[in-house]
Amino acid sequence: MATAALKEILPPSLTSVSDQPPLFDGTTRLYTSYTCPFAQRVWITRNYKGLQEKIKLVAIDLGDRPAWYKEKVYPENKVPSLEHNGKVIGESLDLIKYVDANFEGPSLVPSDPAKKEFGEKLVSEVDSVTRELFSALKGDAIQQTSFVFDSLENALGKFDDGPFFLGQFSWVDIAYIPFIERFQVVLAEVFKHDITEGRPKLRAWIEEVNKIDAYAQTRTDPKEIVELFKKRFLVVQNPQQ
C-alpha cells in the first residue's frame, strides 16, 4: 500500500479572471475540480502512486470556468484532463489506466488473469451503476438504490484475499468510490438511510478505503456534497422531511 503522506496544500481554483498556466512547458498537469467525482478518480490515482511532485494539480472552478481552458487546453471543456508529453487527454477511466501505465508507483491493475477480467467487467459497468444511482433520486431513492448496493455487496465477495473489489486496492475501487462516497452521505443525511446496513462487505470496503491517505485527501466535505445534491439533483423533496 502507498505510504502515508503529509496533507497536500491545494492550489486555489482558477476562474474566468485567472491567468492560464504555461502549456506544454514540460510540466505534467492534472486539470481537476475538487468537487467533481470524475476528476477525483485521477486525483486518487496520482496520490496513490506517489506522484504529487510529478503531476501538478490545476483546479478549475466549474461554476466560473476560464475561457482559455476550452479554447487552448481541452476543447471538451470538462475535467479531468491530463497534460503530458505535449498533448492533453481526458476521460477519467482512461486516465486512471494511463497514469498507472505511464508513471512509476504501485500498480493499480492486477496481473492475475481472473482479477483482471473481473476488474474490466466491473469498470465497464460503473457508468450504468452511477446513472442508476442518480436516476433513483427522482423516485423512491432508498428502494431504487438498494439493488445497486446489493450488487456491490455481491461483487465484493468475489475474492477473499482482501476487503477490496479485487482483494487488494485497485483501479476498480478508484472508479467506484467517488460516487459511493457521495451517495452514502446523501442517503444518510437527506433520507436517513445507512447504505451499509445488512451489507457487511460494503461497510468494510468503505472503512478500508477511508484509511487510504491517497483517497482521504481527496474527499469532499459532506455538507458540501449535500448542498450540491440538493441544488442539482434533489428537485423533488423527500417526503420523509
Domains of the chain: 29-102 (3.40.30.10), 113-234 (1.20.1050.10)
Please give the Cα distance from 157 to 153 (Å, whole number).
7
For residues 16 and 64, is the Cβ–Cβ distance under 8 A?
A: yes
State the pLDDT confidence band at 7, using cuts at 50, 70 and 90.
confident
pLDDT tens, position by position, 125-153: 999 999 999 999 999 999 999 999 999 99
CA distances from 82 to 3, 86, 139, 206 (A): 24, 10, 37, 28
Q: Give residue 3's pLDDT.
A: 42
State the pLDDT confidence band at 233, using cuts at 50, 70 and 90.
confident
Stretch 55-75: mean pLDDT, rounded? 98
pTM: 0.94
* Amino acid identity, position 186: V
